[in-house]
Structure 1
Amino acid sequence: MTTGRLAELNEPGELWIRGYCVMLGYWNESQKTEEAISQDKWYKTGDIATIDEKGFCRIVGRSKDMIIRGGENIYPAELEDFFYTHPQVQQVQVVGVKDYRMGEEICACIQLKQGEETTPEDIKAFCKGKIAHFKIPRYIVFVTSFPVTTSGKIMKFKLREQMEQRLNL
């Protein structure tokens, strides 16, 4: 949610930048420019970041990927970093999927290391006591691959669509 106020220290907010090296807008695309550049020429990066007491900036996720579950903001990158500490996880992507009651639910799409086996229940048990209860994914889906662009970047929007279809949401 955009409020227009400056975030406090260590509070996540959208990173805006400005300077001589920052673009003035999109060529012949005024609507896109209006969405990306504020009236006082700040570029809205779409990154969610925090700034600490020493002035260090830490990117915690992308605003378009943020999951809003029952009013709680959940950053997929934070959960993905956590899941990489599991010894059987090769690759993981976390997406928000539709939910009537909560708005969105968390879906962890996990590719296990070759020869490894586990269950969604085991993964949830691994989470308990290590991350906040509201961040434990409702859905754990094991996958063998992820949808990617020609340059190899994972297409989260496509993955979200696939999971909603697979989970009949």
Structure 2
Amino acid sequence: MTRHSSSVSLQIGYGTTENSPVTFCGFPADNLERKSETAGCILDHLEAKVVNPTTGQVMPLGETGEIMIRGYCVMLEYWEDQAKTDECISKDGWYKTGDIGSVDAFGYCKIEGRIKDLIIRGGENIYPAEIEQFLHTHPKVKEAQVVGVEDSRLGEEVCACIKLADGEACTAEEIKAYCKGQIAHFKIPCYVLFVTSYPLTITGKIQKHLLRGEAEQQLGLKKDN
């Protein structure tokens, strides 16, 4: 006879290989909101701060910026790569994760995305993960990836590359109409492309820089070298 537990203990963790590898972790007793919306709480004997990626200024609690970690978990260096080490670890021991997020007054972290994926449209900072999460609520969307593509007037425009659920048909206009009034107008994708696959690394991670190139090529935005 198979016995099923009446409750499931779920703990969320976040970290990087360079941080050995966990820096934030949830507790079994955390409520559903913290388990579903945060990456957990900063661990003992570690420090975390959120800074403006451009100025390095520490951001107030709850505001978004680059997450930085300091403590025993931070690696010493990249093997035989001093330039990369200096780029990622400050002289006073802070490791730059490259992740965008926020930390609340209780030390719980929310991850918004990667700095390198940030879209800057006419001076507005747009985090693709926010748009992707919203697009996943559309009943016809199986998967969505958002990238910034070149724009001569605004610098970048928002492009959604969408995989549809099996057997579904959809139009770009339908996706844009779904977004209208639900997310900020400047976050609504200017371009919507329907794809069957994404460029992946050997470990299955989506290569957004290649996806951006493919999107620009398909849209006729890519400049010839």
TM-score normalised by the chain length of structure 2:
0.73
Aligned counterpart, 2:160 = 108
Q: Once the 2 structures are TM-superposed, how far is the Cα of residue 41 of structure 1 from its aligned partner?
A: 1.0
Q: Counterparts in 2 of 1:11-160, with a 5 A limit?
A: 11-160=63-212
Count, aligned residues = 169
How far did residue 121 of structure 1 move? 0.4
Residue identity in the other structure for 2:137: T
Question: SS at the partner of 1:104?
Answer: strand
Counterparts of 1:25 and 1:73, CA distance in 2: 31
1:36/1:44 contact within 8 Å kept:
yes
What's the offset of the Cα at 1:150?
1.9
CA shift at 1:144, angstroms?
0.8
Higher relative contact order (CA 8 A, sep 6+): 1
Q: Give the aligned partner of residue 10 of structure 1.
A: 62
**Structure 2 CA distance for aligned equivalents of residues 65 and 92 of structure 1:** 14
For the residues of structure 1 that align with 2:148 and 2:217, how far apart are their CA atoms? 13
Q: In 1, distance between residues paired with 2:207 and 2:148?
A: 13
Q: Distance in 1 between matches of 2:138 and 2:57?
A: 38
Question: 2: CA distance between counterparts of 1:108 and 1:115?
Answer: 20
Larger radius of gyration: 2
Can you give the 5+ residue segments of structure 2 that lack an aligned partner in the other structure? 1-52
Q: For structure 1, which runs of at least 5 residues remain unmatched after alignment?
A: none
Superposition TM-score, scaled by structure 1 size: 0.97
Identity across aligned pairs (percent)? 62
